[in-house]
A and B are shown apart, each in its own frame.
Chain A
Amino acid sequence: MCWCGSNIASTVDLDRVQKAVEKLTNVVHVEQNKYTCSEPGQAQIVAGIREHNLDRVVVAACSPRMHEKTFQRTVAKAGLNPYLLEIANIREHCSWVHTSVEEATPKAIDLLRAAVAKVIRNTPLTTSTIPVEKRALVIGGGIAGIQAALDIADAGHQVVLVEKEPTIGGRMAQLDKTFPTLDCSACILTPKMVDAAQHPKIRLLTYAEIEEVGGYIGNFEVTIRKKARSVNEDVCTGCGICWSKCPSKAPNEFDCGLGERKAIYIPFPQAVPNKPVIDRENCRYFTKGKCGVCKKVCPAGAVDFEQEDELLRERFGAIVVATGYELFDHSVYGEYGYGKYPDVITGLEFERLINASGPTGGKLKRPSDGKIPKTVVFVKCVGSRDEAKGFPYCSRTCCMYTAKQAILLREKMPEAEAYVFYMDVRTPGKGYEEFYTRATEEFGVNYLRGRVARIYPKGDQLVVRGEDTLVGAQVEIEADLVVLATAMVARRDAAELAQRIGFSYDQYHFFTEAHPKLRPVETNTAGVFLAGACQGPKDIPDTVAQASAAAVKVAMLFSRDELETNPMVATVDEGTCSGCEWCKPTCPYGAIDIKTIEERVGKRTVSRRVATVNTGLCQGCGACTVACRSGAMNLKGFTNEQILAEVEAICL
């Protein structure tokens, strides 16, 4: 029992407590000291353990959140398992909040009695260590994944970067210029793509997907499906003869279908790796069995029609998920006529139309008849901030990219008019407000506050009818081209991926960070980190910042050779467990599995299902224990027996 100078001793009559505690069953030795956490105080505990051959220790002192670790080390010094110690918090919970000795002393006795009742039910717990496989898996080869992979690799660790498309680059590669600086997107991105490809510590796996994830922090086992490219990457030189001679054409996904590509293709000229892939659905050889032109013309003999999907099993210590986003399917806004009127396009399609390497060579021609538009209307918040038809959240990037697109339009074609329908203009970023001001003042973009009610054709134009709420009047604009700023949404397979890896996602299927403020790049599954728009709508600067943050978390993890496991984990009494599985849904870590055990019943061997806890995943919250009616699931360090004993001891 610690005096803590006078912090405890002045309010708690420790002599009276000592008399009471000495009478408790199992208590063989009680002593007081002035500062138990001090060097001599700790030495006294060690001596006490040795002298009295103690196998359990209670320290009545300050909060266990303060010195539990200190005293665990102390008892360990005396050769005792550190988990055979309990702390009675008689300072923060007693002497500091009660002023009279008559109040504090009986309470201190109760707290000690509870600690004694608990400690005699403590069992030795051992921390095991698990080795850390110092290799990281980055899923998604957009700017987030590239940045995370580069940072981890620069920290000296092996990285496998998995991208499901034939090239890395992601959404950023599709953009023309970036706000608020108007750098060319490709100019700043492609060098990073090349860096990633050439980095000795990074292995790119493009045209590949995650098939299965098992294991836990430090030791994930991942199966990656490398889809058949039909081109031997090792011998292909990327000379391009194959795609120049290929007779089959298909819409180019990279250009949002606005242009065409061949059946054997690279998505865009700066693709990394610069190795083509055969789109078997559109290839004549695969659909009609006749052709093989690419194979004939390939000087390296790289085309391989027989290639099959390959399953790779790899071990990783950490996973960074950077799978990005998709655009909202705004066909639900029938009144905006997307799909019906070819000149109603999305912001991303606008990026491709205005890009020098896009389908129109950078000349903004409208899709319907190739005419140069004179009047362009931009509509913001299509699917964002609209609970009725889309999502209640703000997509964060649209205000800025709409301003950027209007500026690009006015810069390229000063004679064209730009109108923007908006709900609010949100510019919370460095240089963003200034950029928006330039759009309105320097470039004369017309901003109209209000929602667009309808878009309908008139001659070869589109009439955009909406309300200007600032003037309080209906406005109709006859436009040649309408650009919709569609919401950023989670990828359609996001939930499936989260389930496969085992972490949580929100109602919109964006991945959930472990804490909204303080742990923004971790997931609730240890060893799995998030980067970029897969966690929520984000622009490029925020994405890159989060990617680097995730990389640091991985590097921190890899700075250790071994991880100590938390010994206070859930444990299953297999004899009692019914295998009902009701514990499973309460586990936030997916740490509970079902296994089949065999046992003898009479003369037969029968098999039976029981729950099992993955101690690498379990964080020791104990939610499962309450879901378990039979008490088969228990939590080490906070067992049912211990807590019931504490309750009974206090109530005595």
Chain B
Amino acid sequence: MKEKLSELKETVARLLKDRTVDFFIAYQAGHSQVEPIPFFLTTAEHVENLFLNNFCAHNLSKYLLDYLAGDEVVGVLAKGCDLRALKRLLTDHRVERGRVFVVGLPCIGIYDRKKVQEVYPAGLVEVVEEGEEVILRGETGDKRVPRKEYLLPRCLTCPDHNPEFYDLLLGEKVANGPLAEEDYSDVRALEEWAPGERRRYWTRQFERCLRCYACRNVCPACNCRVCCFDVAEPRWLGKGTSLDEQEMFHFTRAMHVAGRCTGCGECERVCPVNIPLMKLNKKLAKDIGALFHVPQAEIPTEVEPLGQFRLGDPDEFN
């Protein structure tokens, strides 16, 4: 990671100096080791503040939407999942490829801050990967744990350890292939429940919702110029937080990303009240895959599954 960081510093400095890019979006250190935050650089002098470790979860490409109005070229650091998000923005014609300079970052997994903090509330110094295990090194000593259990959920089934495309790659490519097959086991388990139980489950989830819209704001598929939740007329959604409005919100959000979700799970990661949003997104991805024969429902395609049809689609509406 250290070598990669120095390579990143060198690269960003060069790109900014030779005016290949006008801005660069990467990470800087946050409050702690486990909370890196986005970093927007406009000058090469700031590269010393760049930061990189295996907690850099943020999908930085979403910030590209903030630079739509001008003609600047924006550099962005992108892992495999972030690149898929960028592909979403490109497919939705929200970002022009020519205005993005992608520095690809091979990645074998990002650790789940919340899980790590459970065993290591404070003072984490670094994580050291050792095959299937990981050593959490803190001020008070080391802890050796199975790697898989501490990764973000998306990293387990991630098919893109290397970004699909880039203008420049940081370091060497890593071995590709998911650690586990996407079997939608969470969704399937919930489908098995009695309808009443499921209803109560979702009620418990939705009633916690603060309607902070963090899930929407972080989502690469939620990239509308004006969101339907923000307009007064027509009133798609009331401002109140009664349960019916919460459900309307979550239903609408899920439907709006149906067939467009890239599976990054950022919505769930940033939710302050831990609503399992991916259980909705994955449900739709699973059904789209099964009903419409879309083998990889989370890879952006030229025409989204709901923007097309086949004469032979299943029909149960007679």
Contacts and interface: CB of A to CB of B under 8 A. Distances in A.
A631 B234 contact: yes
Contact of A577 (B68, B225, B234): B225
Q: In the A-B complex, list the 5 residue pairs whose CB atoms are closest, starting with the nearest.
A: A630-B224, A578-B225, A585-B307, A641-B234, A580-B92
Interface string A593-620: 0100000011010101100000000000
Contact of A609 (B93, B235, B311): B93
B184 interface: no
A578 B231 contact: no
Given A576-B225, A585-B303, A631 B70 contact: no
Could you tell me the dominant secondary structure of chain B's interface residues? loop
Interface in A400-441: none
A586 interface: yes
A545 B93 CA distance: 47
A609 B92 CA distance: 11
Given A575-B226, A606-B70, A631-B231, 9 more contacts: A577-B225, A578-B226, A579-B93, A579-B94, A585-B308, A604-B69, A627-B307, A631-B236, A644-B235
Nearest to B222: A629
B70 A630 contact: no
Interface residues of A, number: 28
B231 A576 contact: yes
A640 B234 contact: yes
B183 interface: no
A630 B228 contact: yes
Contacts of B233: 641
Contacts of B226: 575-576, 578, 630, 632
A586 B94 CA distance: 19
Contacts of A639: 234
B261 to A, nearest CB: 13
A644 B70 CA distance: 37
Given A585-B308, A640-B234, A629 B69 contact: no
Contacts of B94: 578-580
Given A606-B70, A630-B226, A581 B93 contact: yes
21 contacts: A507-B311, A575-B226, A576-B226, A577-B225, A581-B93, A582-B307, A584-B307, A601-B69, A602-B69, A604-B70, A606-B69, A606-B70, A608-B68, A630-B228, A630-B231, A631-B231, A631-B234, A640-B234, A640-B236, A641-B233, A641-B234
A536 to B, nearest CB: 16
A334 B61 CA distance: 54
A575 B226 CA distance: 8
Nearest to B91: A580
A602 B70 CA distance: 11
A324 B212 CA distance: 60
Contacts of A609: 93
Contacts of B236: 631, 640, 644
A576 B232 CA distance: 13
A582 B304 contact: yes
B306 A644 contact: no
Nearest to B229: A630
B227 interface: yes
Interface in A225-263: none
A242 B36 CA distance: 83
Contacts, number: 65
Interface in A541-594: 575-582, 584-586, 594
B129 to A, nearest CB: 39
Nearest to B231: A631
B211 to A, nearest CB: 18
Contacts of B307: 582, 584-586, 627
Nearest to B225: A578
Contact of A630 (B69, B93, B227, B235): B227
B241 interface: no
Nearest to A632: B226
Interface string A501-526: 00000010000000000000000000
A631 B236 CA distance: 9
Given A575-B226, A631-B228, A582 B70 contact: no
Contacts of A507: 311
B235 A578 contact: no
A625 to B, nearest CB: 11
B178 to A, nearest CB: 29
Contacts of A601: 69
B28 interface: no
Most A C-beta atoms less than 10 A away, residue of B70, B93, B304, B311? B93
Nearest to B253: A629
Given A580-B93, A582-B92, A606-B70, A629 B234 contact: no
A577 B233 CA distance: 15
Interface in B279-318: 303-304, 306-308, 311
Contacts of A578: 92-94, 223-226
B223 to A, nearest CB: 7
B256 interface: yes
| Best-surrounded residue of B69, B225, B227, B304 (most CB of chain A within 10 A) | B225
A582 B301 CA distance: 12
A589 to B, nearest CB: 15
Contacts of A582: 92, 304, 307
Interface in B225-252: 225-228, 231, 233-236
Contacts of B68: 608
Contacts of B228: 629-631
Interface string B65-92: 0001110000000000000000000001
A461 B93 CA distance: 63
Nearest to B221: A629
A582 B68 CA distance: 19
A627 B303 CA distance: 12
Nearest to B96: A609
B292 to A, nearest CB: 14
A584 B93 CA distance: 13
Contacts of B256: 629
Contacts of A604: 69-70
Interface string B195-229: 00000000000000000000000000001111110
B304 A630 contact: no
B92 A644 contact: no
A608 B68 CA distance: 9
Contact of B306 (A606, A627, A640): A627
B251 to A, nearest CB: 13
Contacts of A640: 234, 236
A575 B231 CA distance: 12
Contacts of B308: 585
A515 to B, nearest CB: 16
Interface in A288-304: none
A602 B234 CA distance: 28
Contacts of A584: 307
A137 B311 CA distance: 32
A584 B70 CA distance: 26
A629 B224 CA distance: 8
Interface string B167-198: 00000000000000000000000000000000
Interface in B130-181: none
A7 to B, nearest CB: 33
Contacts of B225: 576-578, 630, 632
Contacts of B234: 631, 639-641, 644
A72 to B, nearest CB: 25
Contacts of A630: 224-228, 231
Contacts of B70: 604, 606
A604 B69 CA distance: 9
B240 to A, nearest CB: 15
A573 to B, nearest CB: 9
Contacts of A576: 224-226, 231
A5 B70 CA distance: 67
Nearest to A583: B307
A582 B308 CA distance: 10
A582 B234 CA distance: 20
A620 B94 CA distance: 27
